[in-house]
Structure 1
Amino acid sequence: MNILMALSQLEVTGAEVYATTVGNELTTRGHRVYYTSDTLTKPHQGSFFKLRFNKRSIPRRFWHVGYLIYLIKKHNIQLVHAHSRASSWSCHVACKLTGTPMVTTVHGRQPVHASRKKFHAMGNKALPVCEAIKDQLVQDLGVPKEQLVVSRNGIETDRFQVMTPPNNARPVVTIIGRLTGPKGELCYRLLDKCLDLDKYDVRVVSGSQLDARFEAFKNKVTFTGYTHNVPEMLSGADLVIGAGRVAIESLMCGRPTLAIGEATSIGIVTSKNIQHAIATNFGDIGPTDLDIEFSTIANEVERGLGQKQCDPEVTETIKASYDLSSVVDHIEHVYQDVYIDTLRREMPVIMYHRFIQDESEKGVHGTYLHIKMFEKHLKLLKRMGFESLTFEDLAEANVIRRLEPGKRYIMLTVDDGYADNYHLMLPLLKKYGFKAVVYVVTGETFNRWDVENPDNPENQVSLMTADQVKALAESGIIEIGGHTITHPKLDTLSHNEQYQEIIGNKQQLEELLGKPLTSFAYPFGLHNDDSKHIAKDVGYQFAVATNSGPLQFHQDPYQIRRIGIFPRTDVFGLWRKIRGNYLFRKVR
Structure 2
Amino acid sequence: MNILMALSQLEVTGAEVYATQLGDRLKQRGHQVFYVSDTLSCPHQGPHFKLRFNKRSLPRRFWHVFYLIYLIIRYKIQLVHAHSRASGWSAYIACKLTNTPMVTTVHGRQPVHRSRKKFHALGYHALAVCENIAQQIIRDLGVPSEQVSVLRNGINSQEFYPLPAANNSQPVIQIIGRLTGPKGELVYQLLKQCIDLNAYRVQVISGSRPDARFAEFESKVEFCGYSSNIRETIQQADLVIGAGRVAMEALLCQKQVFAVGEAKALGYITQANLPAALASNFGDVADDGRTELDIDYSSLAKQLAGLQQQAPVSEQLVAAVKAEYDLDGVCEQVLKLYQRAYVYTKQKEIPIIMYHRVTKDDSLAGTYGTYVTTERLEQHFQTIKLMGLTPITFSELADIGLEHRFDHGKRYIILTFDDGYQDNYDLLLPLLKKYQFKAVIYAVSGTDHNRWDVEHPSKPEQRFELMSPETLRDIDQSGYVEIGGHTLNHPKLAELSDAEQRHEIQQNKLDLENLLGRELSTFAYPYGNHNQQSKEIVKQVGYQFTVATDSGPVAMHEDLQQIRRIVMFPSTSRFGLWRKIKGNYTLRKAK
**Superposition TM-score tier, normalisation by shorter sequence:** over 0.9
What is the SS of the residue equivalent to 2:267?
A: strand
Residue 3 of structure 1 aligns to which amino acid in structure 2? I
Which one is further off, 293-302 or 244-253?
293-302
Specify which of 332, 336, 351 is matched with residue 339 of structure 2: 336
Matched, 1:99 2:85: no
**1:302, CA displacement in angstroms?**
4.5
Q: Is 1:432 aligned to residue 403 of structure 2? A: no
Residues 258 and 304 in structure 1, CA contact (< 8 A), matched pair in contact too: no
Q: How does 1:255-266 map to 2 (within 5 A)?
A: 255-266=255-266
1:523 match: 526
C-alpha separation in 1, matches of 2:229 and 2:190:
24
Q: Work out whether 1:571 is the aligned partner of 2:571.
A: no
What whole-Å deviation, never above 9, does each CA across 1:125-172 have from its counterpart, x for those lacking one? 111111100111122222221221212111111111122212111111
Secondary structure of residue in 1 paired with 2:8: coil
Distance in 1 between the 2:514 and 2:549 partners? 27
2:356 counterpart of 1:359: no
Name the CA shift for 1:542/1:305 in 2 (closer, same or farther; >3 Å): farther
CA 1:515–1:295 in structure 2 vs 1: closer, same or farther (change >3 Å)?
A: farther
Distance in 2, matches of 1:114 and 1:214, equals: 38
1:20-67 alpha-carbon deviations (Å, 9 max, x no partner): 111111111111111000000111111110000011111111111111
Residue 131 of structure 1 is matched in structure 2 by 131
Q: Does 1:274 find its partner at 2:274?
A: yes
Partner of 1:73: 73
Q: Which residue of 1 aligns with 2:402?
A: 399
How far apart are residue 383 of structure 1 and its match? 0.4
User: Deviation per CA, 1:421-458, whole angstroms, max 9, x where unpaired?
Assistant: 22221221222122222211111111111111112111
Q: Does 1:13 align with 2:13?
A: yes
Aligned equivalents of 2:479, 2:224: Cα separation in 1: 59
Q: Helix, strand or coil for the counterpart of 2:162?
A: coil
1:459 equivalent among 459, 462, 465: 462
Aligned with residue 514 of structure 2, among 507, 511, 530: 511
Whether the 8 Å CA contact 1:194–1:298 is kept in 2: the answer is yes
| Deviation of the 1:521 alpha carbon | 0.9
Amino acid at match of 1:114: R
Per-residue deviation, 1:510: 2.0
Instruction: Determine the C-alpha separation between the residues in 2 that align with 1:512 and 1:400.
Output: 32
1:265-414 matches, cutoff 5 A: 265-286=265-286, 287=288, 288-289=290-291, 290-307=293-310, 309-414=312-417
1:149 to 2:149 alignment: yes
Q: Distance in 2 between matches of 1:557 and 1:220?
A: 61
Further displaced range: 489-498 or 390-399: 390-399
1:473 aligns with 476
| Alignment of structure 1 residues 113-192 onto 2, 5 Å | 113-192=113-192
Counterpart CA distance in 1 for 2:365 and 2:567 is 17
If the length of structure 2 is used for normalisation, what is the TM-score? 0.97
How far did residue 304 of structure 1 move?
Answer: 4.9
SS of alignment partner, residue 175 of structure 2: strand
Shift of 1:572: 1.8
Change (3 A) 1:308 1:163: farther
**Cα–Cα, structure 1 residues 238 and 477, in superposed 2: closer, same or farther, change >3 Å?**
farther
Correspondence for 2:58: 58
Which residue matches 1:415? 418
Q: Which runs of 5+ in 2 are unaligned?
A: none
For residues 258 and 404 of structure 2, the distance between their equivalents in structure 1, rounded to whole angstroms, comes to 42
Q: How many Å apart are 1:567 and its aligned residue?
A: 1.3
Aligned letter for 2:19? A
After TM superposition, give the deviation of residue 77 of structure 1 in Å: 1.1
Normalised to the residue count of structure 1, the TM-score between the two structures is 0.97
The whole-number CA distance in structure 1 between the counterparts of 2:510 and 2:401 is 25
1:318 Cα deviation after fit: 1.3
CA contact (8 A) 1:89 1:121 kept: yes
Question: Is 1:87 aligned with 2:87?
Answer: yes
Letter matched to residue 253 of structure 2: C
8 Å CA contact retained: 1:165, 1:308: no
In 2: Cα distance, 1:542 partner to 1:234 partner:
47
Equivalent-residue separation in structure 2 for 1:219 and 1:471 (angstroms): 84
Distance 1:236 1:390, change over 3 A: farther
Q: How many residues align?
A: 588
| C-alpha distance in structure 2 between counterparts of 1:544 and 1:87, whole Å | 40
Call closer, same or farther: CA 1:488–1:19 in 2, change over 3 Å.
Answer: same
